[in-house]
Structure 1
Amino acid sequence: MDWLSEHAWAAWLGVAALLGVAEMFSLDLVLLMLAVGAIGGGAAAALDAPVVVQVLVAAATALGTLTLVRPPLVKKLHSGPELSMSHGRLVGTQGLVLQTISGLQPGRVKLAGDEWSAAPYDETLVIEPGATVEVLEIRGATAYVHPVPQLDR
């Protein structure tokens, strides 16, 4: 028992290692947070704190990581890249006006290699052929566009 009291940090480190290995099988990050708590207990043991303090530090560290670190980490790991499917992927892209676009008469634009029916997002605008536009919205088969300002050279 003398060895254990003198090397409690090693026991805490062993517990942390076992929890870390077990985490590799569960992959839910709970055991990893408990392993971090065990490392906290080991740090307290390395500072020659009493066993009660070591256990309290380990418990507080594990509880803190479970409540503060794990939820945002799980959320980040479970969320993937945002997928744009169908015509929604065209929103934000730029295209070339092929036929005059006005609020009264939809025109045509070339977007991602395809021709689309287009109307101005601002119904008061008239957009002439050759202008570069940005797609702000897609409703049905019509792209609602706004002209991209060009720098005069």
Structure 2
Amino acid sequence: MFPDLTQYLWIVWLVFVVLFVIVELVTLEFTFLMLAAGSLVGGLGMNLIGAPWWAQIGTAAVVSALLLFTIRPLLLRTLKKGADPTPSNVDALHGLGGRVTVAFADGAGTVKLDNGETWTARRSPAGATDIPLDQGARIVVTRIHGATAEVAPAPTASPTAERSEDA
């Protein structure tokens, strides 16, 4: 009365492979590529040699896991080998100095960073709260939170260092 659906299991494996490849093209992390290869080799391969459905699922899972834990780390290391280690974008702003352009009131103000960008800023809770942040005061970026820079007063130079600069 009901057809044996296991004869169409090869279609399910092909759908999995195509689905995993499409997701991999979006994420580019090699995770779904390993799952696609496990489905192709383990699932579809076992289906073509006539293995039962439980053996197909088990083999696909084992092959996928082996690929995830052996080949994927090697691929990621190779991919990142030539990457530039210099921080960029928001990551490059951490530790950057600047000056206060609008004095801080209630912990918020505006700063102009040394790279020329003007940011809305708030005082970092970790920074010294006893030092006022008036217009022209030097600051250091401690963190970026969305479009707001968290800043702390810049450490002042010691009096001996100032004398040596004047000489």
Q: TM-score, normalised by structure 1?
A: 0.50
The match for 1:51 is 53
The match for 2:34 is 33
The match for 2:125 is none
**Aligned partner of residue 2 in structure 1, secondary structure:** coil
Distance 1:43 1:77 in 2: 29
Which of 43, 58, 72 aligns to 1:70? It is 72
Distance 1:33 1:13, change over 3 A: same
Give, in angstroms, the shift of residue 13 of structure 1.
1.2
Distance 2:80 2:3 in 1: 46
AA in 1 matched with 2:37: V
Distance 2:69 2:57 in 1: 18
Give, in angstroms, the shift of residue 3 of structure 1.
5.8
- Residue-by-residue CA offset, 1:57-108 (whole Å, 9 max, x unaligned): 000110010011101111001110799xxxxxxxxxxxxxxxxxxxxxxxxx
RMSD: 2.0
Which of 58, 62, 67 aligns to 1:60? It is 62
Matched, 1:9 2:10: yes
Query: Gapped runs of 5+ residues in structure 2?
Result: 86-167
- Paired residues for 1:137-148 under 5 Å: none
- Paired residues for 1:51-130 under 5 Å: 51-80=53-82
- Residue-by-residue CA offset, 1:123-153 (whole Å, 9 max, x unaligned): xxxxxxxxxxxxxxxxxxxxxxxxxxxxxxx
AA in 2 matched with 1:14: V
Q: Percent identity?
A: 30
Distance 1:82 1:15 in 2: 35
Runs of 4+ in 1 over 6 A off after TM superposition: none
Give, in angstroms, the shift of residue 2 of structure 1.
3.2
Contact 1:4 / 1:11 at 8 angstroms: preserved in 2? no
> What number of residue pairs does the alignment pair up?
83
The match for 2:22 is 21
